[in-house]
Amino acid sequence: MQQVVFITGASRGIGKSIAEMFSEQGHIVYGCGRTPFVNSLFHTLVMDITSPDQVNQSLADIIKRHGRIDVIINNAGYDLYGSFEGTSEEEMRAQMETNFFGTLNVIRATIPYMKKQGSGRIVTIGSIGGIMAIPFNSVYSASKFALEGFLESLRFELAPYRIHILLVEPQSVRTNSLELSIQKTKNERLEYNASVLKMVRKMKSDGESKGIDQDLLATKVVSLSQVKRPKFRYPVGRLVSSIRFVKLLLPERFFFRFIQQNFLKGE
């Protein structure tokens, strides 16, 4: 069945792949970004998820045209690296505004339409960073851990309306936009600078060399929109699939040392 799909952050990276794949399967697709962009495969919208007015207007326009919204993909977000002390108030709030509150803006705008329809899927792209935290990535982790808790609770409220909440948890993804999606805080403190630079370099090179393919992730996300009885959590990638169990099994101090050894080795 042809579905009406809305994807946030569809101008590049993972969101672009998802939007194009939905479109190639014959669905009606809308994708947004803050900067104007064109894509011959789907409708593009300029919308900032941190603005409730813009979000409400975009959803209302889609409903006006098609009378329904079947799938929402909350994808827009970025990964901020830096020490907590070196993260400015502005950077900290901007990270939460986009990754957490922006996602909530989109969900809040969508619920009334899906409730009225008595159906819908809200798919959110979480992260391995929402399951296990790594060094110098605390505010990003906070945003993705927060989404885990928020969505885990929300699914109880929306289940009676047959609105399914799905949380996709990818490990590093090989995209061609890592320069933009992995951001470093602007004024790092001297004592942390070398470690933060090392982390950023490591995450970018891990993404490029060991990351899962963005089209593979997109295929998974698109297939979830067709699963009859979807689950809640979908880890994507071998590492992220095993990490919950490893965290449960390993004593905390071993896990701490394991992360320290693997990410800050040589400090």
Ligand X SMILES: NC(=O)c1ccc[n+]([C@@H]2O[C@H](COP(=O)([O-])OP(=O)(O)OC[C@H]3O[C@@H](n4cnc5c(N)ncnc54)[C@H](OP(=O)(O)O)[C@@H]3O)[C@@H](O)[C@H]2O)c1
How many Å apart are CA 123 and CA 127, to the nearest integer? Answer: 13
Q: Cβ 11 to ligand X, closest distance in Å?
A: 4
Binding mask 8-37 for ligand X (x = CB under 6 A): xxxxxxxx----------------xxxx--
* Count of residues making up the chain: 267
Q: Using CB under 6 A, pick the residue from 7, 28, 48, 96 that binds ligand X.
A: 48
For ligand X, give the closer residue by CB, 116 or 238. Answer: 238
Question: Which of 30, 81, 113, 140 does the annotation list as catalytic?
Answer: 140
Binding mask 182-221 for ligand X (x = CB under 6 A): -------------------------x---x----------
Q: Using CB under 6 A, pick the residue from 170, 224, 235, 243 that binds ligand X.
A: 170
- What residue ranges in the chain does DSSP mark as E strands? 4-8, 28-33, 43-46, 71-74, 79-81, 120-125, 163-170, 173-174, 182-184, 212-213, 233-236
Say whether 140 is catalytic: yes
- Is 125 a residue that touches ligand X (CB under 6 A)? yes
φ/ψ region of 61 (left if φ > 0, alpha if ψ in -120 to 50, else beta) reads: alpha
Q: Cβ 129 to ligand X, closest distance in Å?
A: 7
Q: Which of residues 61-120 bind ligand X (CB under 6 A)?
A: 75-79, 98, 102
Q: Cβ 168 to ligand X, closest distance in Å?
A: 8
Q: State the CB neighbour count (10 A cutoff) for residue 26.
A: 10
Q: Using CB under 6 A, pick the residue from 23, 95, 105, 127 that binds ligand X.
A: 127
- Is 130 a residue that touches ligand X (CB under 6 A)? no
Q: Which residues of 180-204 are buried (b: 16+ CB within 10 A; e: fewer)?
A: ebbbbbeebeeebeebbebbbebbb
How many Å apart are CA 240 and CA 127, to the nearest integer? Answer: 9
What spatial distance separates the first Cα and last Cα of the chain, rounded to whole Å?
55
Instruction: Return the amino acid letter for 24.
Output: E
Catalytic residue ranges = 140
**Contacting residues toward ligand X, per CB under 6 A:** 8-15, 32-35, 47-50, 75-79, 98, 102, 125, 127, 170, 172-173, 175, 177, 180-181, 207, 211
